[in-house]
A and B are shown apart, each in its own frame.
Chain A
Amino acid sequence: MANDESQPGADAPAGGFVQLLTPDGERVDSVTTAEGVTYSVDFTDDEYRGLYRDLVTVRRLDTEATALQRQGELGIWASLLGQEAAQVGSGRALRPQDMAFPTYREHGVLYTRGIDPIMPFGLFRGVDQGGWDPNEFKFNLYTIVIGSQTLHATGYAMGVTMDGKTGGPDGEAVIAYFGDGATSQGEVNEAFVWSGVFNAPIVFFCQNNQYAISEPLERQTRIPLHRRADGYGFPGVRIDGNDVLATYAVTRAALDNARHGQGPTLIEAYTYRMGAHTSSDDPTRYRIASEVESWKAKDPISRLKAFLTKQQLADDTFFTEVDESARTLALDLRERVLAMPDPQPVTLFDNVYPTGSPEVDAQRRQFAEYQASFEGSAH
């Protein structure tokens, strides 16, 4: 592997990855993998600019959320800083009929689905548990227990097949998000087994951001993660997760394979968590500054900006306008987060069972009476 980082793919880990835009903003026409699959993109100028706007917007919203947490307005925040390209590229690769199963960090994917970015903030502010209708948004609930959602995604994908919704360009596909740490979970490996056995229309999208809280990749695996797919009998592809173009190209191809009935793919998006695991974490205890600096040079946004500038697809007026509109969105988000009402205490008894429970109902009544007993008192 060459060390000259000006060469396309020179910054790849051993074994390489699919890259269509270098850290310096050089466009690679196409990449053909060892398996003979060729990946490329054919975007219009507007589409290139649209991807840039997405990346800047989701980073700006993330920055606002981090600030809100620091100011005590969110209980916790799981930042996507550094992973914008992996999320925007894969999210934009989804077709409207496709279903996404996120972890708790896929705010960028959520944004690309056209969902109001405030939707998950109830969870992080602690006013609810992140409740929405997955089928309305084609975006499942955030899932906190690591890896559990990969089985849900697999079952959902089995249902797609049972419904006869694969086999053509209008077919449905499913994408399951998870991280490098999750690949050690038994449930994720079961999801791989099941998807292979049932030829489920699913893409496993692993954002390998190099750390599971403090534990480096070497604690999870001794082979590159995408190669795990070999053992389950479906393709595994590693992409430059900081390259929105490669992410889009490979994810779109894998999703289309799935919707045509060709089964699962594992994508390893090789990226880096620039921030902390969550706002409760202190990454200076387990990684060195020079490592973070080296990844800063591979930033997903600056490379696309360099490309747009070199190709004269955008100028400072455009970049300023994008920054400004992202800022407006972020400030609007802030105001609406601050205006979120605290839930009424008695609502903690809501939605335990679809058909209700006399025991829960009795506790609700007793609690309401207990609360009412304080009315008019100083406390």
Chain B
Amino acid sequence: MAETITLGKALNHGLRRALENDSKVVIMGEDVGKLGGVFRITDGLQKDFGEDRVIDTPLAEAGIVGTAVGLAIRGYRPVCEIQFDGFVFPAYNQIVAQVAKMYYRSLGNVRIPIVIRIPYGGGIGAVEHHSESPEAYFAHTPGLKVVTCSNPADAYAMIQQSIASDDPIVFFEPKRRYWEKGEVDLGLDLAGAYPLHASRIARPGTDATVIAYGPMVRVALDAASAAEEDGRSLEVVDLRTLSPLDLAPVFESIRRTGRAVIVHEAPGNAGLGAEIAARITEECFYSLEAPVLRVTGFDVPYPAARLEEEYLPDLDRLLDAVDRSFGW
């Protein structure tokens, strides 16, 4: 049943299968019904599953997540769509103060198996609030799990695994990769699938380790191809899970390569890269040939669309960092 489909379509298939497999799964968000979502990720689902399972909500993000909490207490498994990364903040209180803490506060009596889907990142020429990378805010919050996919096959499996998990999960979707195609096994048996909270070597290499996630995995893979022409072998790790981090493969890689470059779109200051760099230093100090380097968005608000190519880490900035690592 392997098909070549886009990442967006893979998510759509994954959501459809989750709705089919569990009658308690409901999708809720702005424009997710008739319209199928502004990115069409929920296309056709309301038509097939009805208005009670795929709910067009009032335009209020705190309401989406807050009512999802109540539905979860009632035994439902809500999948909330936040339309764009920059629109999640009205729901931030509910996510951080309620969703994340309910299981702890209740001494394990209340499970909140909510998935909060957030299209994130730049590169689509959008206006303000449509291109942000807020993952660190959520990864910093105990009680939440945070994952992100980089390719159609992972998108299909990870969205289903996230919905099936009893943990509350913030699911970041790399919106500029929605249209990239890849092979997906639509008959995938989740029981035998690659674990949700595990990172993966996306491309093996021997000379330096590039750590990426979400939309930057494609950039890292392209950089590795380019580096190969210069005779450098880059190993690319796709993190996939941002909280909890799964860094054992990263440490294992760096013990072989001795060099590490982390890349993400979010601003560098107090971003995921800072945490990863600190842990690499703790675990791999004697293996490092150079300091852990980061290639990130700058510490400025996300700029206007005509400047985003300069703002976003790209192949050249990543290879420049690799050069600096080798120049140490």
Interface residues of A (CB under 8 A from B): 128-136, 140-141, 143, 145, 148, 150-160, 162-163, 186-187, 190-191, 193-194, 197, 350-355, 357-360
Interface presence of B58 (CB below 8 A): yes
Complex contact B107–A148 (CB within 8 A): no
Given contacts A151-B94, A190-B66, A357-B244, contact A352 B73 (CB under 8 A): no
Given contacts A351-B103, A355-B165, contact A134 B98 (CB under 8 A): no
Sorted nearest first, the 7 A-B pairs with minimum C-beta distance are A155-B70, A151-B66, A131-B107, A155-B67, A159-B74, A156-B70, A354-B166
Tally the A-B contacts, defined by beta carbons under 8 Å: 141
Interface presence of B75 (CB below 8 A): yes
Complex contact A187–B93 (CB within 8 A): yes
**Could you say which residues of chain A place their CB within 8 Å of the CB of B319?**
none
Task: Choose from B63, B78, B98, B165 the contact partner of A145 (Cβ within 8 Å).
Answer: B98
**Could you say which residues of chain B place their CB within 8 Å of the CB of A134?**
73, 106, 109-110
Given contacts A197-B58, A354-B166, contact A152 B109 (CB under 8 A): no
Interface presence of B263 (CB below 8 A): no
Interface presence of B111 (CB below 8 A): yes
Complex contact A151–B167 (CB within 8 A): no
**Could you say which residues of chain A place their CB within 8 Å of the CB of B67?**
151-152, 154-155, 158, 194
Cα-based distance from A176 to B64 in the complex (angstroms): 17
Cα-based distance from A186 to B90 in the complex (angstroms): 9
**Could you say which residues of chain B place their CB within 8 Å of the CB of A148?**
66, 93-94, 97-98
Complex contact A159–B75 (CB within 8 A): yes
Given contacts A133-B110, A190-B62, contact A353 B94 (CB under 8 A): no
**Could you say which residues of chain B place their CB within 8 Å of the CB of A359?**
244-245
Cα-based distance from A305 to B232 in the complex (angstroms): 89
**Could you say which residues of chain B place their CB within 8 Å of the CB of A194?**
57-58, 60, 63, 67
- Name the residue in A158, A162, A186, A353 with the highest tally of chain B Cβ atoms < 10 Å from its Cβ: A353
Task: Choose from A132, A159, A187, A360 the contact partner of B71 (Cβ within 8 Å).
Answer: A159
**Could you say which residues of chain A place their CB within 8 Å of the CB of B163?**
none
Cα-based distance from A132 to B73 in the complex (angstroms): 12
Task: Choose from B74, B94, B113, B143 the contact partner of A160 (Cβ within 8 Å).
Answer: B74
Cα-based distance from A153 to B71 in the complex (angstroms): 9
**Could you say which residues of chain A place their CB within 8 Å of the CB of B90?**
186
Contact with A along B89-129 (1 / 0, CB 8 A): 01001100110011111111111010000000000000000
Task: Choose from A135, A351, A360 the contact partner of B107 (Cβ within 8 Å).
Answer: A351
Interface presence of B301 (CB below 8 A): no
Interface presence of B76 (CB below 8 A): yes
Interface presence of B52 (CB below 8 A): yes
Contact with A along B42-61 (1 / 0, CB 8 A): 00000000001000011010
Write the chain A residue with the least CB distance to B26.
A162
Interface presence of B69 (CB below 8 A): yes
**Could you say which residues of chain A place their CB within 8 Å of the CB of B244?**
357-360
29 contacts between A and B (CB under 8 A): A129-B106, A131-B107, A132-B106, A133-B106, A134-B73, A134-B110, A143-B98, A145-B97, A148-B97, A152-B69, A152-B73, A155-B68, A155-B69, A155-B71, A156-B71, A159-B70, A159-B76, A190-B62, A191-B63, A193-B58, A351-B107, A353-B103, A353-B143, A353-B145, A353-B167, A354-B103, A354-B111, A354-B167, A355-B165
Write the chain A residue with the least CB distance to B101.
A129
Interface residues of B (CB under 8 A from A): 26, 52, 57-58, 60, 62-63, 66-76, 78, 90, 93-94, 97-98, 101-111, 113, 142-143, 145, 165-167, 244-246
CB distance from B195 to the nearest CB of A (A): 11
Q: A152-B73, A355-B167 are in contact. List 9 more A-B contacts (CB 8 A).
A: A133-B109, A134-B106, A141-B105, A145-B98, A159-B75, A187-B93, A190-B60, A352-B142, A360-B142
CB distance from A233 to the nearest CB of B (A): 13
Complex contact A193–B105 (CB within 8 A): no
Write the chain B residue with the least CB distance to A194.
B63
CB distance from B30 to the nearest CB of A (A): 13
**Could you say which residues of chain A place their CB within 8 Å of the CB of B52?**
162
**Could you say which residues of chain B place their CB within 8 Å of the CB of A141?**
102, 105-106, 110
CB distance from A159 to the nearest CB of B (A): 3
- Name the residue in A151, A162, A163, A357 with the highest tally of chain B Cβ atoms < 10 Å from its Cβ: A151
Complex contact B103–A352 (CB within 8 A): yes
Complex contact B62–A187 (CB within 8 A): yes
Cα-based distance from A360 to B167 in the complex (angstroms): 14
CB distance from A299 to the nearest CB of B (A): 35
**Could you say which residues of chain A place their CB within 8 Å of the CB of B60?**
190, 193-194
CB distance from B279 to the nearest CB of A (A): 10
- Name the residue in B71, B75, B103 with the highest tally of chain A Cβ atoms < 10 Å from its Cβ: B71
CB distance from B248 to the nearest CB of A (A): 9
**Could you say which residues of chain A place their CB within 8 Å of the CB of B104?**
129, 351-352
- Name the residue in A128, A145, A159 with the highest tally of chain B Cβ atoms < 10 Å from its Cβ: A159
Given contacts A131-B106, A352-B142, contact A153 B94 (CB under 8 A): no
Complex contact B62–A186 (CB within 8 A): yes
CB distance from A7 to the nearest CB of B (A): 43
Task: Choose from A151, A163, A353 the contact partner of B62 (Cβ within 8 Å).
Answer: A151
CB distance from B161 to the nearest CB of A (A): 11
- Name the residue in B142, B244, B246 with the highest tally of chain A Cβ atoms < 10 Å from its Cβ: B244
Cα-based distance from A133 to B244 in the complex (angstroms): 27
Cα-based distance from A162 to B102 in the complex (angstroms): 23
Complex contact B107–A151 (CB within 8 A): no
**Could you say which residues of chain A place their CB within 8 Å of the CB of B66?**
148, 150-152, 154-155, 187, 190-191
